[in-house]
Amino acid sequence: MPETTFHSLVENLENYLEYQRDEGVQRMEVDRAVLAELARMPDVAPAAAVEVPVAVAIPIPEHFQSLEEIAAHVSTCRNCPLYEGRVNTVPGEGNADSPDIMFVGEGPGADEDAQGRPFVGAAGQLLTKMIDAMGYRREEVFIANIVKCRPPNNRAPLPEEMEACLPYLRQQIGLIRPRTIIGMGATAIKGLLGKTAGITRLRGTWREYEGIRLMPTFHPSYLLRDPSKKKQVWQDLQLVLKELGKEPPPREK
Ligand code: URA
């Protein structure tokens, strides 16, 4: 195609997108193949692929074959506005081969966003201690979040952000098949069970997610604000160990 025709096509497309935005359209579906083609055209990519004035929603496939495929899809995801503020996506990490435990939190904070890894900040250090106290190493469990991009100012993700992101977590759980899930905090429980009942009422009581035993407990960030709740969380973690037929290791003096 002659270059001038091509550029006028791109210009038309931009005008069209700008018009749609002015009409209030906030999201559009664009085939992945089209985006990939645009990204391969160096002199067009900045105009067409980066400065598109509306968020581009790419449908999430229903059957990912691997966690790597999910992470790759997440890394280019623009299905909710959280992509605008992210440095890195945080798909999750750990033992993906039917681990005893999968921990699910809320969403990345500043440290996680900077590193692209879940629970690596202050709450993450506490989570690592909890995992240790149970007799596991971080690499032996899987750690993920309800949303894969950092919400601004560490606010809780909005219902529509959770809805947009949950297909990733659901498919991760389907591929990982953990023996148990520990849902940490109200957002995790709402995302996994759709329950809005308070975490205070739900914690410590077994639930089920797609045939997997799920234990709700408090979020480690909450424990940092109110350490008196650690006792209850330890009770919840012990229930999980019991379910797995394990004992906590003796505490170091
Ligand atoms: N809080 C979360 O819910 N997830 C993280 O990854 C870090 C902090």
How far, in Å, is the centroid of ligand 1 from the Cα of 239?
23
Residues 126 and 206 in one domain: yes
Residue 62 lies in a domain: no
pLDDT tens figures, 98-148: 999 999 999 999 999 999 999 999 999 999 999 999 999 999 999 999 999
How far, in Å, is the centroid of ligand 1 from the Cα of 154?
9
**Whole-number Cα distances in Å, 107 to 90, 173, 217, 226:** 8, 16, 16, 20
Q: How many CB atoms lie within 10 A of CB 147?
A: 26
Residues 122 and 209 in one domain: yes
pTM, 2 dp: 0.79
User: Residue 67: what pLDDT?
Assistant: 98
Q: Rounded distance, CA 248 to CA 206, Å?
A: 19
User: Residue 46: what pLDDT?
Assistant: 47
Predicted confidence (pLDDT) at residue 36 exceeds the cutoff of 50: yes
Residues 104 and 72 in one domain: yes
Percentage of the chain with pLDDT > 70?
77
Residues 21 and 128 in one domain: no
How far, in Å, is the centroid of ligand 1 from the Cα of 20?
35
Residues 127 and 220 in one domain: yes
User: Which of 112, 95, 84 minimizes the C-alpha distance to 27?
Assistant: 84
Number of domains in the chain: 2
Residues 96 and 192 in one domain: yes
Q: Residue 243 is encoded by which pair of tokens? A: 């379910």
**Residue 162 domain boundaries:** 67-243
Question: Residue holding tokens 């605008």?
Answer: 84
pLDDT tens figures, 142-159: 999 999 999 999 999 999
pLDDT tens figures, 156-175: 999 999 999 999 999 999 99
Residue 187 lies in a domain: yes
Residue 54 lies in a domain: no
Residues 16 and 109 in one domain: no
Average pLDDT over residues 71-85: 97
Residue 107 Cβ contacting ligand 1 at under 6 Å: yes
Residue 58 lies in a domain: no
Predicted confidence (pLDDT) at residue 23 exceeds the cutoff of 90: no
Question: Domain holding 226: CATH number?
Answer: 3.40.470.10
Residue 250 lies in a domain: no
Residues 215 and 116 in one domain: yes
Residues 114 and 11 in one domain: no
